[in-house]
Amino acid sequence: MVKDSGRPIQFVFAGKAHPRDDHGKAFIQKVIHLSKFSELKGHLVFIENYDIHVARQMVSGCDVWLNNPRRPLEASGTSGMKTTAHGCLNMSIMDGWWREGYNGSNGFSIGQDSHSEDVHEQDRVDSENLYNVLTREVIPSYFNRGADGIPREWISKIRESWSTLAAEYSTWRMVQEYTKKYYLTR
């Protein structure tokens, strides 16, 4: 069972693998298997048929948005950008938009801003770093509450995220920048 001082923690996975991404499809099958046939049952969930409607529900009810692609293959990072407005904190490897947006107080970094050329070694390091940031930063920050029940450190991170990420990392800004850079230069 996944707990912190008796309080359950739930991991919700959703997404789709590209039709030719056999590794991605195998990973999803493993998550589904673990969610049904292991001690993680009830704490690990996979939501099928991921689409914009499922994403809307997940984003609006999420506390931490985990993003851990292989470096340096992160795309634009729009999945993490949209969570900020809802008070969700990002936790990601240092690649893509998170490399630019993370300031040490507005979310969580999985490891340092470097990567090994050996994919298997990097997977091992990222796995270890993910566990460390969850157990040493995310879970304590979320569950450390004052006598009034308010998680002040967590709320401080949310406020920092709002003030440093919400306006800068948005679809509106992205469209404006792309329009100026790529479409109006002719």
Q: What is the pLDDT of residues 70-97, one digit of tens each?
A: 777 776 667 778 888 889 999 999 988 8
What's residue 80's pLDDT? 78
Has residue 115 got a pLDDT over 60? yes
Span 42-57, average pLDDT? 89
Cβ neighbours of 51 (radius 10 Å): 9
User: In the beta sheet, which residues pair with residue 109?
Assistant: 92
Q: How many helices (H) and strands (E) does the chain have?
A: 8, 7
Q: Which two three-digit tokens encode residue 8? A: 């359950």
pLDDT confidence of 172, banded at 50, 70, 90?
confident
pTM summary value? 0.83
Distance between CA 113 and CA 101 in Å, rounded?
13
Mean pLDDT score across all residues of the chain: 88
User: In the beta sheet, which residues pair with residue 13?
Assistant: 46
SS3 of residue 152 by DSSP:
helix
**CA 102 from chain center: how many Å?**
12
